[in-house]
Chains A and B, each alone.
Chain A
Amino acid sequence: MPESRGYYGRFGGLYIPEILVATFDELIRAFEDAKADPSFWAEYEALMSTYSCRPTPITFAGNLTEDLGGARIYVKREDLNHTGAHKANNVMGQGLLVKRMGKRRVIAETGAGQHGVATATMAAKLGFECTIYMGEIDVERQRPNVFWMERLGATVVPVTEGSRTLKDAINEAFRDWVTNMDSTHYALGTACGPHPFPEMVSWFQSIIGTEAREQIQQIAGRLPDRVYACVGGGSNALGIFSGFLEDEGVELVGVEAGGHGAGSGRHAVRLSYDDASVGVAQGYKTWFLQDRDGQMQHTHSVAAGLDYVGVSPILADLHEKGRVRFEAATDTEVIDALARTVRREGLIPALESAHAFVQAFKEAPSMSPDQVILINQSGRGDKDIFTVADAFDDPKWKAFIREKARAYDA
């Protein structure tokens, strides 16, 4: 029986069906062993520096800094990871753990498709069988990622139950796992779910914060005043925040998906609006967007990767303790910030990451030029080309798609 059940204040825990208890015991043991073994982290860093692009750089956003006329803006470039997002950090780490456990098959849920592509890539490299569960709606809006997952050898299963998005994909992955746990590891993609996932995913993602703390001091000559990250489940945020948790002077800001805004009922904001309440679902206790009966509600975001009903129990606790401040960015603000970042810096943040940029842009002008802002660019926006082109209502893009369709029909 595990000693810790993964509580962070009153959040977290391990609420699982009896059939999975032995599997979680095994996973917790394997994780504890790996954590205690310095060679495991060394192997992880070596893999990430040769197979991915670690350490990822920090870029000074000079033009945006000048435009906004306040704090100096720096960007941590998780978009430069192999497969284009911070998701690779978690996935390669779990992949090494799967090898240690001697399992042969990995499964994962995916929203944006980013975690699915990362998992399929890991499976291809490490030689595992791979099945990815993805809400039917997300399959439709993230076709390029589905294409790559399948090319990488994964089976992509569209989930047609429930709201047909990320939470339903997680449920289906659990259903697979309770049947196939002997051969299979479930590589959960964010710092949510039952213990040890929140801790384990945050541990792998802490590579972001460890690097960033050292880099920013070299580049900017000081610690940042504020660090911004978007928050879906919370893994990229916890990754970068973890580097600065002990630095009291560093304000940590998590930005949630405001969708159509407060009061619209069409958003995925758990902590910075008043719509969520504390509950237990998908194996853990946190703030959920749920109705009075405890039924999970539909969420919305232009960014599929933030379109989720719950939030990391570690972040819920840091929120309660006042260590992390939470804000929300709406879909339209996100598209504007994305356009601006592309145009002024030549950086293409993912729609998810652009949420963090929105809040930084709001706050930078009222800060002084000797202050420092660090934004976590969790991923690159190429994958969002269809959504972004639609948001910009780009006529040439539409003509291209029409032409392509005609060519297929011919």
Chain B
Amino acid sequence: MPTTLESVVRERLAERDILLMTHIVLGYPSFEASLEIVDAMVEAGVDLIELQIPFSEPIADGPVILHANQKALAAGSTVERCFEAAHSLSDRHRIPLLFMTYYNIALQHGLEAFAKDTAAAGLRGAIVPDLPFEEGEELLDALAAHALDPIFIFSPNTSDARMRAIAERARGFVYCVARKGVTGAETDFAALDAYLQRCRAATSLPLALGFGVKSATDVAAIRGKVDIAIVGSETIRRIDEQGVDSVGPFLRGLR
């Protein structure tokens, strides 16, 4: 396997014109089910997966993922079990897996221990949506020491200068939030061009676009504009409504 997350992404991009990154909440609806969901995602050809360690105060997440966080915690999802689950998933699957969680989870685990255990679990990096780079030096150093990539976020109201400052610290790819708001609402993909041009100008890393990607039409609309389509809330919504078995067919139908 190539050494960096970025090179894995680029290698995959040589084979297909848009990659797919999906998201799950560890322990939702149960640990067993979340492992099955990941298996189904990999089988459906997904290229990267975010594994969210649930947090009681997920301020950047919309209602669907918020609810999944709370259900997972109520069902007994602990950070320790999340690490165990991540470990067994990376043993089973070769695609890059990333942690997504809020800063307090890493902080309480110990930033160095968090990075060490994340690497030991076979993950490639972490997305921490409530940690601006100005507050993140210690975690960034710890991640770097364990060859893990921090995934940073651009948003439509991030200034050009700030995008460049973020790009200096970003590794792997950049997560471009498609619009204002939280995860899981509607997005007008046609209006994105100017924003995505700014993102491209700020970084040479691959770009991933998320927030509101939920159909083959959405993926078609951003094909050729970004490198990775991120599907988050929609998978959880499907699982809630139609069960784990609906994941494979849904994802296969996206591109």
User: Known interface pairs A17-B60, A290-B108. Does A179 touch B158 (Cβ–Cβ under 8 Å)?
Assistant: no
**A126 CB within 8 Å of chain B:** no
- Once the chains are docked, how many angstroms separate the CA of A231 from the CA of B26? 36
Note all chain B residues with C-beta closer than 8 A to A174: 59
Nearest CB of chain A from residue B164's CB, rounded to whole Å: 12
Q: Which residue in B57, B62, B134 is a CB contact (below 8 Å) of A281?
A: B57
Complex interface residues of chain B between 149 and 203 (CB less than 8 A to chain A): 152-159, 162, 166, 177, 180-182, 185
Q: Is A19 an interface residue (CB 8 A)?
A: yes
Known: A14-B132, A179-B181, A279-B107. A19 touches B59 (CB 8 A): no
Q: Which residues of the partner chain A approach B60 to less than 8 Å between Cβ atoms?
A: 17, 19, 178
Residue in A19, A167, A293 whose CB lies within 8 Å of B78: A293
Q: Is B73 an interface residue (CB 8 A)?
A: yes
B67 at interface by CB-CB < 8 Å: yes
Cα separation A55 to B55 with both chains bound (whole Å): 44
Which A residues lie within 8 Å of B166 (CB)? 18
Give every chain B residue within 8 A of A15 (Cβ-Cβ).
Answer: 103, 130-132, 135
For B105, what are the chain A residues with a Cβ–Cβ distance below 8 Å? Answer: 293-294
A15 to B158, CA, bound (A): 16
Q: Mark A4-34, 1 if CB is under 8 A from B, else 0.
A: 0100000001111111011100000000000
Counting chain B CB atoms within 10 Å of each CB, the highest count among A14, A182, A280, A292 belongs to A280
B244 contacts chain A at the CB level, 8 A cutoff: no
Please give, as numbers and ranges, the residues of chain B lying within 8 Å of A13 by CB-CB distance. Answer: 135
A265 proximal to B (CB < 8 A): no
Does A161 lie at the interface of the complex (its beta carbon under 8 Å from any beta carbon of B)?
yes
Interface size on B, residues (CB 8 A): 42
Report the minimal beta-carbon distance from B22 to chain A, rounded to whole angstroms.
20
How far does the Cβ of A107 sit from chain B's closest Cβ, in whole Å? 14
The yes or no answer to B66 lying at the interface (CB within 8 A) is: yes
Highest count of chain A CB atoms <10 Å: which of B73, B104, B153: B104
- Cα distance A395–B155 when bound, in Å? 58
Q: Indicate whether B96 reaches chain A with its CB closer than 8 angstroms.
A: no
**B79 interfacial contact with A, CB 8 Å:** yes
Number of A-B residue pairs, CB cutoff 8 Å, is 112
Among A17, A23, A180, A283: residue with most chain B CB under 10 A? A17
With the chains together, A39 CA to B79 CA distance in Å?
52
Do A162 and B56 touch across chains, with their CB atoms under 8 A apart?
A: yes
| Residue in contact with A161 in the complex, picked from B67, B78, B180, CB distance below 8 Å | B67
A181 is an interface residue with CB less than 8 A from chain B: yes
In the complex, the answer to whether B59 meets A171 with C-beta atoms within 8 Å is yes
**Min CB gap A12→B, angstroms:** 10
Residue from A5, A16, A175, A279 with most neighbouring chain B CB atoms (10 Å): A175
Tell me whether A181 and B108 are in contact (CB under 8 A): no
Closest Cβ–Cβ distance, residue B120 to chain A (whole Å): 18
Using known A-B contacts A161-B67, A280-B107, A281-B104, determine if residue A17 contacts B158 with beta carbons closer than 8 Å. Answer: no
Bitwise interface map of A from 161 to 187 toward B, beta carbon under 8 Å scored 1, else 0:
110000100010011001111100000
CB of A53 within 8 Å of the partner chain = no
Is there a chain A Cβ closer than 8 Å to B70's Cβ?
Answer: yes
Which residues from A are CB-within-8-Å of B155? Answer: 17-19, 21
Contact with B along A206-250 (1 / 0, CB 8 A): 000000000000000000000000000000000000000000000
Query: Cα distance A283–B152 when bound, in Å?
Result: 17
B180–A19 contact, CB under 8 A? yes
Whether A18 contacts B103 by the Cβ 8 Å rule is: no
The verdict on A178 contacting B159 (CB below 8 Å), with A279-B107, A279-B108, A290-B108 known, is no
Which residues of the partner chain B approach A68 to less than 8 Å between Cβ atoms?
none
Contacts A178-B182, A294-B55, A296-B57: A16 and B70 contacting too (C-beta < 8 A)? no
A1 within 8 A of B: yes
When the two chains form their complex, are residues B59 and A282 in contact, meaning their CB atoms are under 8 A apart? Answer: yes
B residues less than 8 Å from A22 (CB atoms): 157-159
User: CA A290 – CA B102 in complex, angstroms?
Assistant: 14
Residues in A with CB closer than 8 Å to B108 are 277, 279, 290, 292-294
Q: What is the chain B residue whose CB lies nearest that of A168?
A: B57
A181–B131 CB distance below 8 A: no
Q: Which residues of A contact B63 (CB under 8 A)?
A: 161
List 30 interface pairs A-B (beta carbons < 8 Å), by A numbering: A5-B134, A15-B130, A15-B131, A17-B60, A18-B132, A18-B158, A19-B60, A19-B177, A19-B180, A19-B181, A21-B157, A22-B157, A23-B157, A162-B57, A171-B58, A175-B59, A179-B180, A179-B182, A179-B185, A181-B180, A182-B180, A277-B108, A280-B102, A293-B108, A293-B109, A294-B104, A294-B109, A295-B55, A295-B73, A296-B56
7 extra A-B contacts, CB within 8 A, seeds A161-B63, A280-B104: A17-B155, A18-B129, A18-B158, A21-B157, A178-B60, A178-B180, A293-B79
